Amino acid sequence: MTTIKGVLFDFSGTLLRIEPAETWLRAVLAATGTAMDEAEIVRRAGELERAGALPGGSRPVEIPAELAGLWEIRDRDAACHREVYTALSRQVPLPRPELYDALYERHMTAAAWHPYPDTADVLAELHRRGIRIGVLSNIGWDLRPVLRAHGLDRYVDSCVLSYEHGVQKPDPELFALACEGLGLAPSEVLMVGDDRTADGGATALGCAYMPVEHLPVDRRPDGLRPVLDLLG
């Protein structure tokens, strides 16, 4: 059996989790000085969640036909990513038109993302053991400042982001780029992620794969620790 010398981690739902939709909406209302009735805030937040308007949150209950094509390729291009998610949010009536762009901007801030309780400890231990660490994400914006703000970048050797390469998981090309970024053969790399289709696609290239559950941070205190046991 080939020894694992590197671990690739998905970002959203694996290392960090986006804030709840209601928190997201409230933060933007506060930042823009927009007043809304309390009951309406709760109602609109629920509608935004069902619309799938929060990147990293729930998938849309129903994708509008005119957005279906863009939805499938949303992580290949930054402009496409913004267009899709702001269009989804615009399905929900809000009191000011500028709120839709403000919501999108908010989700890219470090304050909107919360590391899972064991993320820092697991990354630190892998780093201590000399294991190469990469982040491999289907995403439409640069997550590196978020990692930096949470003190996680010190452990990460490489970041491969779909929108920077115009290709998204489970395409083997993206996994190949990520393995190259670690300087390792696919057989020496473990992929860890919450999406068994997108992240599990790493096995087609010869990587190992370990799934984690996409749960709120307070419901998954030690989902990443099995990585340490797996590597011995």
pLDDT at res. 120: 98
pLDDT at res. 192: 98
Q: What is the pLDDT of residues 102-135, one digit of tens each?
A: 999 999 999 999 999 999 999 999 999 999 999 9
pLDDT over 90 at 58, yes or no: yes
* pLDDT more than 90, % of the chain: 99
Task: Kindly list the domain boundaries of the chain, sorted by start residue.
Answer: 6-17+113-231, 18-111
pLDDT at res. 232: 79
Mean pLDDT of 152-173: 98
Mean pLDDT of 126-154: 98
Mean pLDDT of 28-40: 98
Mean pLDDT of 172-194: 98
pLDDT over 70 at 1, yes or no: no
pLDDT over 70 at 68, yes or no: yes
Q: Which of 109, 21, 84 is nearest to 57 (CA)?
A: 21
pLDDT at res. 2: 78
Written as one letter, the residue type at 38 is E
pLDDT at res. 154: 98
Range 6-17+113-231 has CATH code 3.30.420.10: no
Total-model pTM: 0.97
pLDDT at res. 82: 98
Q: What is the pLDDT of residues 36-57, one digit of tens each?
A: 999 999 999 999 999 999 999 9
